Each structure stands twice: as C-alpha cells, then as structure tokens.
Structure 1
C-alpha cells in the first residue's frame, strides 16, 4: 500500500485514466489499473503534468509598479531609472515579502522550478542576499536558482564587477551581463567575456540579457554563442530576450541560427514584457517585440518561455500565470499549429528543465513525485483557458488545492 495514490488522472497524449502510486515522496508506480494507498486523491479526470519551469523572473522588483511613480513611456530606460530610485529603499523584509508573494503566485499556477534574477547594482546587495535566504527557507517547497545580474552594467558601473565576485562567494548559482546597455559595443563584448571567465573559474551558470533592444546592429548573441562553443560551457549558457533578432536581415539571421544551434545554448523568450515594451520607438509598422521562436524551433534550438515580470517598473501587469506568456507567444510568434501549441507547453516545462539542468524531471517511476493537475482534457486547452492548477504536489505532499471555477446559469 502506497503512502499516496493519485487516481483518475490523464497523462499527456493518453486517453485512458491512470493511477500514480507515491512512496516516500517518489513515484513508485504508474498504472492504468487502480492502486491502493493510505491516502487517495481523486484526480477528477484532470490532466497531470510535471510542474512548470520559470526560467527568467525578477522577484526583487515584483510588486513595485508605481513606486516611486509609474512608467509612463513604457520604455526600458524609464523602467531602469525608476528601479534605480526604488532600490535605494530596499530592505530584506521588503524584498522577502514581495518575492514570497510572487513565488506563491507562480506556485498557484503550477511553477515549482524558478530561475530568479537578482540585481546586484546595489552596494548592500540586499536583493541578492534576500533571495538567497528565500532559497534556503523554501528549499523543500520550490527549486530556486539565483542569478547575479548587474542591471547598471559591468563596464558602465565597474563596481558591479566586485559585487559580482561577492555574489559568487555568497552563493549565487550563476552570473549575467546586459551587453546592449553598456556604453559601447566593445564594452558589451568585454562584459560577456568577464562573465565567461567567472563561470569557467567557479563552475557557474551563465544567463545573459541579450539584445533586448529594437536595433538590428545589436548582435551580442553571436558573441555569447561563439564563446559557449570555445569555452565548452555550451548548455550551461542561456540568452534571454534576443528581441533584436526580429530586425536582423534574413540572410544574417540564417547564419546566426546555425551558430546558436551548434553552440547548444538555451534561449528564453519573454513575450509578455517584450510585446509591451519593444517597438516603442518604431513608427508603423511596429515590431512584435519577440525573437524568432518559430525559426529556432525549426533548428532544434532549446527555446523556453518565461513570465519575467510581475507588476514592476518595467511591466505593470502579470499575475504569475506562465500560461499567459505562452498564450502571448502563440499570437505574437504565429505559433498556432497543433504541434506548435504542444511545443509551447514544452517551452514552459521540458525545455526549461533542460536550461536549469534539472535531472529527475517528469512524471516517471523513480522520479520525485512533483505533479500538477489541471481540469482540462488536452494540453492545448492549457493555452486556451489558462486555468489554475487543481492540485500542486511536491515530493508527494499536496502544497495547494484550488477548486475549478464554476458558473451557474439562471436562464
């Protein structure tokens, strides 16, 4: 008899109901036949999946929209100015409370694996220290990676180089750069090289903000991909945003995509913030704001989708539902074919697990019993309906339960 049995659930691309037996927090059996358990949860015919993976989110800025004022232009530059002012008042209590609230929102919608970006452009390193504490406090609930991120640059703000080293000593899982916001292209490349040297020395992940700008001459992603190959770090490297790729000439983009595919780096698209923020300086036609997801999928590049911001100076919306980001990508990326819609789900699950290098991911015998269930029949309905999870289960323990919304008609 198992500790817990999850009965009457559907697995992706399988019609009949299944039963999952869980013992000591591990999936012990998956069967089309009933199993015995000390505790039994009726899955109600729900779709069961491994938890979603949020590959790029700013927990330190969450729920600060309007503080000290609203971003009226919607531009990244105004967002940076507002955040620079707001972070002068950061305290550990402030960051901890907002970050925990954001994680609760993510968990409500099925996210149990998170890569959080911590701004180190603060001499006190309040955001980084707080998120590292949160990681420790919640280690039995949610998997959290922390990336040290120099919002104000590494060459434009040389103090961030020392702060980056301190962040590594404190326990950051990876390092980052934002080369397109450095003062010159040469300094942008130098910032990338600096991060690679640290990653090689300390065995860290690399997570770059690449070309989040509507400029066809911003081509730092080629440097990232090239260094990933020459350093051998390859799949420990991620490039986020890559918005400028939408503006590249097709012949150059074709060459670049081959390079990215060869480098084995991961790409993270952030459709919510980038469809809202990019194109602000365009006349008509305005750019859609997201990278060439469809073409990268055709090249078998590992593409992920992230929520990115929840009510920040950069993006005033967002509720933690990563399915909203996938829904936006379906529209802005013209990803509405049946296989493309299914691939969108992979971009917030399997692909994200590859980027974060999560080894025991998936609903398989022998893996941790980390399972989310949704009141839908097919994975595509997740994109269409964007529902809450009915159950979120971590190591065989139910973390939360949400009853599906029901409408009663009186007519």
Structure 2
C-alpha cells in the first residue's frame, strides 16, 4: 500500500495522470494506477507541476520597505542608498525573522527553492549569519542557496575581498559580484577577474549581478563570458539582470548572445524589478528594461526568472508569487506565442531548477515527491489566472493547503463559478 494517491491530475504538458507517492518519493506518474493507498485525493483535473523556483532574490532586505524611507525616484541607485541606511539598524534576529516570514509566504505560493544574494558589505556579516541559520532551519521545507554579494562594490569597498572570503568560509554557497557598480569600467572588469579566480580556486559556482543599467555601453557580461571560458567555469556561471542588453545595438547584442551561449552560461531576468527600476531616466518612449529573453532562449541560453525583491528599498510591492513573475515576463518580453508562454512557465520551474542545479527535480518516479496543485487546467492558464495553490507538497507531505477560489454568481439563479474552467 502506498502512502498517497493523487487521482485525476493534469500534468504541465496537459496529459492526465494519477500520481502515486510512497516514503516521500514518486512511485508512479501516469494513467490508471491500480494499487491501494492510505490516502486518496481526487484533484478533479487540476494542474500538478513541480514546485516553483525563485532563481534570484534578496532575503536580507525583504520586508524592510519604508523602514527608513521609500524610494522616491524609483531608481536602483536610490535603492542602494536607502539599503545602506537601513542595514545599520538591523540585527541578526530581525533579518532572520523577516526572511523566515518571506519563506513561509513563498511556501504557501508553491515556491520550495530560493537562491538568495546576501550582502557581505557589513563588517560584522550580520546578514550572512542570519541567512546561514535560516538556510539550515528551513531545510525540512525548502531549499535555500546563498550567494556572497558585495553590494557596495568588490573593489569600490576596500574590505570587500576579506569579507567575501570570510562569508565563503562560513558556508555561503556561491560567489557573486556587481561589476557595473564599480567606479570605472576597468574596475568592473578587474572585479570580475578577481571573483572568477576566487570561484575557480574554490570550485564554487558564480551568480553575478551584471549590467543592471539602461546604459548600452555597460558590457561586463562580455568580460564575464570570456572569464568563464578562461577559468574553465562553463556550466557554473549565471549572469543576472543583463538589462543593458535591452538598450544595445542589435548587431552587438547578437554577437554578445553568441558569446554567452558559447561560454555555457545561464541568465536570470527579474521582470518585476527590471521593468520598475529601468527606464527611469527616459521621458518618452520609455524602455522596458528587461533583458532579451526570447533571443537568449533561441541561442540555447537557459533563462530563468527571479522575483528579486518583495517590499524592500527597490520594490515596495510583491507577494512572492512566481506566476506573477512569469506573467510579467510574458507581457514585457511579448512572449504570448505558445512556445513563449511555456518558456516563461519553465523559467519559474524546470529552467530555474536547472540553473540552481537542483538534484532530482521534477515529476518522475524515484524523485522526491515535491509538487504544487494549482486551481488551473494548464500551464498557460496558470500564468493567465495566477490561481490558488490548492496543495503544496514536499517529500510527500502536505505543507500548505488553500481552499479553491469559487464565486457565487447571482443572475437568474445562484451559480457557482470556478474560474479554472473558464
């Protein structure tokens, strides 16, 4: 007898299936399971997908919006200044509790893996200590990866090298950077070289904030791609944001995309934040700001989507709904064709898991039974409706349950309307 049987599920490829789970793993994913189960849930044709994955976030700054002041200009640079003022007020416990609250919110939304950048610019590494503790405490329920992020600049702040190394020694998982925030283009290139050498020496992956600006002359991702090849880090480097690519000349962008693909790099777009922070210096027309996601995908570059911020100095909105992120990518990237819609859904599921190198991810026998049941009938409808997460499971255990969203419609007589059938 198995532990749990989910009958009448619909998989992301629109195929109906029964899903059998035992000892925290998938036993069978397909039609017509005939064995006995201790518990049976009839899903009534609702969508089942792997858990959502947020490939780019900042847990240390989340839920601090307005603590000092709000970002009046809406720019990246004012956000950085507000964060400098804010982080002097924060304690390890305060950071931990806010980040934990965000993680709990995320679980109810079906997100069970987050890659978070953590600011290492504080001499006491307060945020690092808080998030390392959180990573361990949350392991039963979700996976957290931490990136050592020199928010104030790796060369711009003299102590950053020592602090970043200390953070890695404490157990932070990846090497990060922010070359476009260095004082000069040359310093930005030099910071990439130093950080990539450090990652290669330690055998660590890299996830670098890169070219998060409207300036088309910000081309640090070119340097990053070359360093990826030079240090033999193919398949282990992610470039996040890449918003300057939106403003580049098409001929150069085409060359750049081929270099990124050749280097075996991954990319992360953060559409909610990119569309908000970029174009702030424009009058009209205003640039969208998101990187060239369709072109990168056509070149074979895996592109994931991140939420980046929730209620912090850069973005005072957000509920950590990865389907909202996917929906924004669809609209901003004009990816409304069949393939584009599925690419955006994959950007918060399969592709994101690939970039995070999550083992045993997906709805397949033998994998951990991690899944989300959505009040929708297809992946495209999930983006369209941003529906209720009826169940969230990790290792076969129900972590979260939400009642279906049903409307009572009064016209000639009362009618119950389930939008997932519309």
Could you say what secondary structure the match of 1:89 adopts?
coil
2:25 aligns to what?
Answer: 26
2:24 and 2:283 map into 1 onto residues whose CA distance is: 55
1:222 aligns to what?
Answer: 222
2:226 and 2:51 map into 1 onto residues whose CA distance is: 32
CA contact (8 A) 2:269 2:304 kept: yes
1:185 aligns to what?
Answer: 185
| CA offset digits 1:89-121 (Å, max 9, x no partner) | 111211111101111222122111110111111
Q: CA RMSD in A?
A: 1.0
CA contact (8 A) 1:209 1:240 kept: yes
1:192 and 1:36 map into 2 onto residues whose CA distance is: 56
1:14 and 1:304 map into 2 onto residues whose CA distance is: 22
2:156 aligns to what?
Answer: 156
CA contact (8 A) 2:360 2:367 kept: yes
How far is the alpha carbon of 1:13 from its aligned partner?
2.1
In the TM superposition, what are the counterparts of 1:2-401 in structure 2 within 5 Å?
2-16=2-16, 18-34=17-33, 35-401=35-401
Could you say what secondary structure the match of 1:259 adopts?
helix
Could you say what secondary structure the match of 1:286 adopts?
coil
2:36 and 2:20 map into 1 onto residues whose CA distance is: 8
| CA offset digits 1:142-164 (Å, max 9, x no partner) | 01101110110011002111100
How far is the alpha carbon of 1:388 from its aligned partner?
2.7
Structure 2: gaps spanning 5 or more residues = 412-422
Could you say what secondary structure the match of 1:22 adopts?
strand
Is the alpha carbon distance of 1:15 and 1:366 closer, same or farther for their aligned partners in structure 2, counting shifts above 3 Å?
closer
Could you say what secondary structure the match of 2:151 adopts?
coil
1:317 and 1:169 map into 2 onto residues whose CA distance is: 34
2:407 and 2:392 map into 1 onto residues whose CA distance is: 23
| CA offset digits 1:244-296 (Å, max 9, x no partner) | 00111111111111111111111000000110110111232111010111111
2:77 and 2:358 map into 1 onto residues whose CA distance is: 34
How far is the alpha carbon of 1:195 from its aligned partner?
1.2
Could you say what secondary structure the match of 1:40 adopts?
strand
How far is the alpha carbon of 1:41 from its aligned partner?
2.2
1:49 and 1:65 map into 2 onto residues whose CA distance is: 32
How far is the alpha carbon of 1:42 from its aligned partner?
2.3
1:58 and 1:346 map into 2 onto residues whose CA distance is: 21
Could you say what secondary structure the match of 2:409 adopts?
coil
Q: Structure 1 residue runs of 4+, over 6 Å off?
A: none
CA contact (8 A) 1:108 1:388 kept: no
2:36 and 2:50 map into 1 onto residues whose CA distance is: 22
Structure 1: gaps spanning 5 or more residues = none
How far is the alpha carbon of 1:410 from its aligned partner?
2.5
Could you say what secondary structure the match of 2:122 adopts?
coil
Normalised to the residue count of structure 2, the TM-score between the two structures is: 0.95
How far is the alpha carbon of 1:325 from its aligned partner?
1.1
Could you say what secondary structure the match of 1:407 adopts?
strand
2:388 and 2:143 map into 1 onto residues whose CA distance is: 20
2:93 and 2:142 map into 1 onto residues whose CA distance is: 20
CA contact (8 A) 2:49 2:373 kept: yes
CA contact (8 A) 1:373 1:391 kept: yes
CA contact (8 A) 1:7 1:40 kept: yes
| CA offset digits 1:282-330 (Å, max 9, x no partner) | 2321110101111111111100111110001011111100111111111
2:204 and 2:356 map into 1 onto residues whose CA distance is: 11
1:123 and 1:388 map into 2 onto residues whose CA distance is: 42
CA contact (8 A) 2:14 2:377 kept: no
How far is the alpha carbon of 1:228 from its aligned partner?
1.0
